[in-house]
Amino acid sequence: MVQKLIKYITTHFAGLLVEQEFTDKTGNKHVKYYVGGEIADKHMTALAPFANLYIPMKDGKVRQLRLLSTGEPYKNKFGMMVPAISNNISLAPDTRDYVDADKTADLFA
């Protein structure tokens, strides 16, 4: 499944991926990738089965495919829910904090 997704992205969006560095609320720096420019609805439909899929990258990090369609609500940088003004495809960093295996049992005690 991941291979199909990578092939689609490299075929249809070659040269259109934008790399953007950002700092999260805790001050950690991350990099996200997104498709710059207009994204046709046909691409959003084709990528829909892959939405929210976690993808291992060559740099050893994992990124999540996020799709945001025109008009779909999302939280902007001010924390307000607003409708998207255009289709958006991004590969966002996985910022989840995992619990150590030793501590997992303690969660359910």
Q: How does residue 109 score in pLDDT terms, banded at 50, 70 and 90?
A: low
Q: At residue 50, does pLDDT exceed 60?
A: yes
- Of the candidates 95, 81, 76, the one whose C-alpha atom is nearest the C-alpha of residue 28 is 95
8 Å CB contact between 69 and 84: yes
Residues contacting residue 99 through CB under 8 Å, at least 6 positions apart: 107
8 Å CB contact between 93 and 32: yes
Longest dimension (CA), the chain: 51
pLDDT recorded at residue 6: 86
| Across 54-58, 87-91, 97-101, least confident range | 97-101
pLDDT recorded at residue 26: 85
Phi-psi region of 82 (alpha: psi -120 to 50; beta: other; left: phi over 0): beta
Q: Model confidence over 20-47: pLDDT tens digits?
A: 998 888 888 888 899 988 899 999 999 9
Q: Model confidence over 58-69: pLDDT tens digits?
A: 888 889 999 999
pLDDT recorded at residue 104: 75
- Report the 10 Å Cβ neighbour count for 30: 15
pTM given for the model: 0.77
DSSP 2-34: HHHHHHHHHHHSTTTEEEEEEE-TTS-EEEEEE
